[in-house]
Amino acid sequence: MSEKLKSNFEKILETKNLISKYIHETPLDFSTTFSNMTGYKVYLKLENLQKTGSFKVRGAFSKLTRLVNEGRVKSGVIAVSAGNHAQGVAYAARTLGVSAVIVMPELAPVSKYLATRSYGAEVIQYGKFLHESMKKAEELIRERGLTLIHPYGDIEVIWGQGTLGLELPAQDLDAVVVPVGGGGLISGVALAVKARNPNVKVIGVQSVASPSLKVSKSLRRLVEIEPSFSIADGILVKSPSELTFQFIDEFVDDIVLVDDFEISNAIYLLLERNKTVVEGAGAASLAAVLSGKLNLERGRKVAVVLSGGNIDMPLLAQIIEKVLYHAHRVVKVKVIVPDKPGYLNTILSEVAMIRGNVIEVVHDRISSDVPPGYTKIYITFEVSSPEVLETLFTRLTSKGILATIVS
């Protein structure tokens, strides 16, 4: 074991003792469902059940406890975050009796904004992305003398995130899969895991909307890439820090990318099959596993870190609807029929024959593709499986009604 790995591992152990009374040791749950789907032995690290709903509270308490114990806080603290780090710092600051200012991007989820305010912090929304919010924070630091709690570019924060890695059975795992934004979590987890078992593969997962770390690791140097939009808002970072990149370059084995549909599918399956609510950034790790992005042999034991569960309810509802439509579990069908009594009843009777559950019926008599005396009908309904649709379309065709699916 290198001196770098040994010394940081010792600090992570020290941090566990320092913050254990403030945080949960979250469950590591074996998933039969996801194991059967992927061929791996999948264990879910449920950090969405952590206080404030994410791993970020670990790093916040690690940094703030040391600041308070060593008398390094003068005028309060400030943090920049899309939500989870914000909540972690706000909660830790209130617990330790320290005033906190949080700068959040203007597009931060409403649920995270409201939760941060509920922990007593002063919340300022500024900029579209985190690096823009950071400029505002730097201005406030100069004006007020605040102490910055960096979300990932701080070794004391990284030690806190590393306590999650101590809760993983490193000697009994083949791989750990971790969502990656700025790299604080994966740096800490890699240190904690590799110190106990250097053969464990540590794999990071980024959104295709923000691949700066993937590119940086490939080039072996830091690069900046402007993020685009993603539902994984918590991992949209222009660039990792010099500090986290050093750890990732040395101790992380691979970085893979997932898109928003893959993330949405993971969120949906976690909710439907595991009864677990996870946000976009937190579900990126499982998305990579389900999408076959890991370069691992089947049968390997894989710990999947679900790093947070703070998702906006309207977004969750939209994701559920989108995935159901994509899987043809909910279907929207279009027909154009004579605008006379009996046709709608005929169509709905056939939908009932396949045990479809009708959600909505809409008539359109004025569109340019509807002949005079006809009506276009959109029928949205739920089915048990997409296979029954062929039966429906065949029966409708036999009655002179042509139905098509609206994509």
Residues that are catalytic: 56, 307
Region for residue 214 given its phi and psi (left: phi exceeds 0; alpha: psi -120 to 50; beta: otherwise): alpha
Q: Answer yes or no: are the C-beta atoms of 205 and 194 closer than 8 Å.
A: no
Pairing state between β 175-179 and 201-207: parallel
Task: Find, among 176, 237, 245, the residue nearest to 206 by Cα.
Answer: 237
* Neighbour-count burial for 135-170, b at 16+ CB within 10 Å, e otherwise: ebbeebeeeeebbbbbbbbbbbbbbbbbbbbbbbeb
Distance between CA 66 and CA 156 in Å, rounded?
8
> DSSP string covering 294-350, please?
----TT-EEEEEE-B----HHHHHHHHHHHHHHTTSEEEEEEEEESSTTHHHHHHHH
d(CA 358, CA 371): 26
Please give the helix or strand (H or E) that residue 147 lies within, else none: strand 147-148
Q: 236 is written with which tokens? A: 């949209």
Tell me the C-alpha distance between 96 and 341, whole Å: 71
Dihedral of CA atoms 4, 88, 91, 82 in degrees, nearest 10, equals 140
Q: Are strands 147-148 and 254-258 parallel, antiparallel or unpaired?
A: unpaired
CB atoms closer than 10 angstroms to residue 4: 13
Angle between helices 280-290 and 260-274 (to 10 degrees): 90
